[in-house]
Amino acid sequence: MRRRFILFFAFIFAPVVAQLSYPEPEPAVTAPEAWLVPFACAYQPDIVEFNRRFASYGIPAASPRHYGWGVEIRSVVGNNFLVGPMLFRTRDVVANETIQLRTETNAIFALAGWKLPLFRFLTIVPIVGLGGVQPVFQITEKTGDIPLESLLTAPGKIATLSPGFKPTGIAALELNLLVPTGSGNYGISLRGGYLYSPFPLNWRLPSGARVTGTPDTKIRGPWFSAGITLIPAAEVTRVQ
């Protein structure tokens, strides 16, 4: 009888002992794929009416297309869904003998895109996003080199106009030419899209005073960028 009990318990606990002696391999966890895209960009804002007003008062007209820089960070959710923030800034400076006009656009967006790999080296990404865009005009009287006493007596004229950040949407199509390597994928990112905000712009001075009689313009216009796509190889870790 005792021998039968020993054999019975040995049969029951043998799998447990084997499991403790030879544990199963730890499951592998792959970190989400991450994209980093620093880029140069161009934006064509809605400034035609402002330029007409500027010209009537002897202020130089802003360029129709403004250039700048930006950066985007993305993570892949699921298989092909890309999400992440993007920010960019464009700037234009023009001047004549007496007046300098500086035009800026500051923008920040939350983007979502769908990665469509056509070939190993070519990926297309339709993108939509929502964020905020702030246009700024700064009009400065040029005074040249002057002594401190003259500057304190007559500091000159400067006016900065901005409606602040306004909710804005963006839609774009991206083309990625990628070169696979052992450490990840690297290549060139080309994008074209459009920015639009339906909200009216209430222009104000830094003091908060509202500037009335401004042209009825909106935040809108084509947007283009060319950047470098950096996709490091995903890291694989083991769960303890």
Q: How many independent structural domains does the chain possess?
A: 1
pLDDT in tens, 44-90: 999 999 999 999 988 999 999 999 999 999 998 888 899 999 999 99
Residue 136 lies in a domain: yes
Helix (H, G, I), strand (E, B) or coil at 149: helix
- Counting residues of the chain whose pLDDT is more than 90, the rounded percentage is 57
Q: Which residues contact 39 (CB under 8 A, 6 or more apart)?
A: 69, 70, 71, 72, 88, 189, 191, 225, 226, 227, 228
pLDDT in tens, 122-166: 889 999 999 999 999 999 887 666 666 665 665 567 889 999 999
| CA geometry: angle 221, 46, 88, nearest 5 deg | 55
Residue 24 lies in a domain: no
Cα–Cα dist 96/55, whole Å: 11
Instruction: Name the residue among 203, 89, 202 with its Cα closest to residue 139.
Output: 203
- Which domain does 113 fall in, by range? 31-238
Neighbours of 40 (CB within 10 A): 15
- pLDDT score for 107: 97
CATH number, residue 177: 2.40.160.20
Residue 137 lies in a domain: yes
